[in-house]
Structure 1
Amino acid sequence: MKGGYSLAQIGLHWLIALMVPVQYLTGGSIERTHHAVHMGMTPSYWDVVQHHLHNYAGIAIGVAMGVRLVVRILQPPETGEPTSWTGRAASALHHAFYAAIIGQACMGFVASYFWFGIAPYHVIGSRIILGMVALHLAAAAWHTLAVRDETVDRMVFPRRK
């Protein structure tokens, strides 16, 4: 098997992968909550719960992604420099994930606690990340079903010391 990732890297990857869908499922509550307040109405209890869940899960994702970046720097994956165009594209997508998700968490924090004017950019960022996730899943499916290599195994089974 190709060189893999550490248990910490794998755990952080899957933790973030499980929390990101929560953001898409709870994101609509933000607009509903703010709309109700601006109309002088009381937002629904469930929308307020989802609003808080969205904010705190977003902060947790940002922190986890920051930790993941530090772990990646301290424990780089056991791979060489990518030589093919697909390897370079994969590397670029992975680096873009760090920038996009950390940036998205920062924008969400700013929108929630300092300046709501950045919210439209936060929405655009969510769509960009959704496209990146779709591309990432398609590549994982390609490696598993078409190429039948061990690329996905690297993020499932920790590397051996």
Structure 2
Amino acid sequence: MMQQPVTRGYSASQIALHWLIVVMVLFQLIFGESMSHSVRAARRGTALDPSDATLATLHIWVGFAILAAVAIRLVLRLRFGAPPLPPSSALLGTLARLTHIAFYVLLVAVPVTGILAYWFIPSLGDVHELGKPAFIVLIALHAAAALWHQLWLRDGLLLRMLKPGS
């Protein structure tokens, strides 16, 4: 097994990619329904509203961008590692690791199933759409945990994604 480097905090690149991915995922969650409208219109042979057509095209390109950003982020994670978790119970540490693994799985699986559904295997569209509620649950858990660390525990965990090396 490869030993990860020990680091005090995330690098500026890791932080920038984190927030870029956050913005892109939120865009997908908010405007992703346009892709569903596009697919339904294509099946019915009806015209698509121009704004839905634009948003559907953006949905595809943002999905590719997410996949690329996640690949870069994984490379940086392997190169620079991640700071250790603050002291806590074994259960909380395990939940934190599982949540991050789930994020990475979704950040790869959802764009890949979207690509496959759009161009090759339309039935994967249903699997792709399951990503939305999964992302919403994980984002809520992740944000709640970050706020709990910042406001209740006051252990500075949130600073790791705001200031390099913190």
Superposed pair shares fold, TM > 0.5:
yes
The answer for unaligned runs of 5 or more in structure 1 is none
Which amino acid counterpart does residue 18 of structure 1 have in structure 2? V
**Shift in alpha-carbon separation, 1:99–1:5, aligned structure 2, 3 A:** same
Matches within 5 A, 1:15-34: 15-34=20-39
CA contact (8 A) 2:86 2:155 kept: no
2:158 matches 1:149: no
Which amino acid counterpart does residue 83 of structure 2 have in structure 1? E
2:58 matches 1:46: no
CA contact (8 A) 2:146 2:158 kept: yes
Matches within 5 A, 1:114-125: 114-125=120-131
2:66 matches 1:61: yes
What do you get for the CA RMSD once the two structures are aligned?
1.9
CA offsets 1:14-64 (integer angstroms, 9 cap, x no match): 000111111012211122122222222211111100100111101100110
The answer for unaligned runs of 5 or more in structure 2 is 1-6
Which amino acid counterpart does residue 68 of structure 1 have in structure 2? R
Matched residue count: 159
Q: CA deviation at 1:80?
A: 6.6
Which amino acid counterpart does residue 12 of structure 2 have in structure 1? L
CA contact (8 A) 1:26 1:53 kept: no
TM-score by length of 2: 0.89
**Percent of aligned pairs with the same amino acid:** 34
2:126 matches 1:98: no
